[in-house]
Each structure stands twice: as structure tokens, then as C-alpha cells.
Structure 1
Amino acid sequence: MRVEHHWWNGDVRLARRDVFVRTDGNVWEVEAQMGGPDGKSKVQNCPGRASAMILADAWRGPRWQWREI
């Protein structure tokens, strides 16, 4: 799986959030990560790019100043 998009909320402490959109060309998935690489995460498979982007937008939400990495 390759990372198509990666957003970070800009917080380096416990409130760190990351959202990833990944694909292998056929399967698309979105991962929401809380607390950095060693924190908790949730992965959702999506039927295509459009649905993955919609889910990533929803999981980011408006609370933080998200940056694409």
C-alpha cells in the first residue's frame, strides 16, 4: 500500500492526530491515528478514491489546523 495523502493536526503532544489515505491500486483505505505512531488507530476500507477522500475529510473535522505532509 502506498500513502496517497497524509494529514497531521500540528500537535506534537498527546493530542496528535494523523489521517492517511492509502491504496495498492485496487483497494483504498483510510487510517485515523491518535497519539502518534504508538497510539491508537482505526482503519476503514473504502470502495474507491472518492469515498476514501470523503471519509478522510470527515475524520479530520474542523477542530485543528490540518497540514498535508
Structure 2
Amino acid sequence: MRVEEHWWNGDTSQRGRRDVYIRTDGQRWDVQVRIGGESGRSRVQECPGRTSAVILAGAWRGNHPAWREVSD
């Protein structure tokens, strides 16, 4: 799976960091949420397509202004 889009919540502490990724292999799409940085916990939700992945990623980010898009 390759990362299409990535956001993080701007928290630099290991415990407070949250990341949201939209990923695809060209056919399947999913959204991964990671809590606690690289060594933290993560959850993956499969999506039927890009549009639903974008909607889900937006819902997991919420409206908090600190979220930033990351260019990997």
C-alpha cells in the first residue's frame, strides 16, 4: 500500500501525536489512524473507493485547526 495523503495533528509529544493516512494499492483503498507516533497503535478501515476514504479521513480528523497535511 502506498500513502496517497497524510495528516498529523501537530502534537510533537510521542503520546499526543495522531496521524491519518489515505492508502491505496491501485485497487483497494483504506484509511489508517495512528496514535502515539511510529511505535504507537494504529487502526485500519477499508473503504470501497477514494471518495469514501477522503470522507472517512476527514471525519477522523474532525474540525480541529491544528491538523496539517504532510508531504512524504
Count of residues paired in the alignment? 69
Q: Who is 2:12 aligned against? A: 12
Q: Which 4+ runs in 1 deviate beyond 2 A?
A: none
TM-score, scaled relative to structure 1? 0.94
Task: Specify the code of the residue in structure 2 equivalent to 1:2.
Answer: R
Q: Who is 2:57 aligned against? A: 56
- In the TM superposition, what is the alpha-carbon distance from 1:63 to its structure 2 partner? 3.3
TM-score, scaled relative to structure 2? 0.91
| RMSD, aligned CA | 0.9
- In the TM superposition, what is the alpha-carbon distance from 1:8 to its structure 2 partner? 0.6
Identity of aligned residues (%): 61
